Amino acid sequence: MMIDLLMEILISLFLLTGVGFMFVAALGLLRMPDLPIRLHATTKAGALGGGLLMIAVGLEFFGDVAVAAKAAAIIVFLVLTGPVAAHLIGRAGYFVGVPMWSGTIKDELKGRYDHKTQTLMSPPGLNKTRDEQPKG
């Protein structure tokens, strides 16, 4: 009896925490000012929320190996694919020239990308400082 209640509390905890992170991700997606910040909000909080929900499912059907394996597989997929997709979208958005937030302080990639070939060039000062290193 006691263990049932404890399990229920644990599942509720995981469920509500996961849903809370999902809500934070959705709120960040709506409220944040530009594309990279929105990606920052949704990718991490969304994957964490989904993972916590899947842990709740795995605990509810505790001992069922098939459910545990599926839940683990979903967590792995979310955690593996999320950053890759976010990187691809952010990169594509940067190439297309999606405007940055007006409060952006530094854009280190500005002028370094060859938009035709989509390759990144080294910073101009890099080779120079390497040559100027003291010898010996």
- Applying CB under 8 A, which of residues 3, 62, 63, 66 lies at the interface with other proteins? 66
Yes or no: say if 44 and 12 are a contact pair by the CB < 8 Å rule: no
Q: Does 9 bind other proteins (CB under 8 A)?
A: yes
| Angle formed by the axes of helices 35-60 and 65-96, nearest 10° | 180
State in angstroms the smallest separation of the CB of 13 from other proteins: 9
- Applying CB under 8 A, which of residues 11, 44, 100, 113 lies at the interface with other proteins? 11
Secondary structure (DSSP) of 65-107: HHHHHHHHHHHHHHHHHHHHHHHHHHHHHHHHTPPPPTT----
Q: Does 109 bind other proteins (CB under 8 A)?
A: no
Dihedral of alpha carbons 81, 86, 91, 95, sign: positive
- Applying CB under 8 A, which of residues 63, 99, 134, 136 lies at the interface with other proteins? 99
79: nearest Cα among 44, 107, 31: 44
Q: Which of residues 21-60 bind other proteins (CB under 8 A)?
A: 22-23, 25-27, 29-30, 35, 38-39, 42, 46-47, 49-50, 53-54, 56-57, 60
Task: Enter the DSSP assignment of 1.
Answer: -
Catalog residues that contact other proteins under the rule CB under 8 A: 8-9, 11-12, 15-16, 18-20, 22-23, 25-27, 29-30, 35, 38-39, 42, 46-47, 49-50, 53-54, 56-57, 60-61, 64, 66-67, 70-71, 73-74, 77-78, 81-82, 84-86, 88-93, 95-99, 118
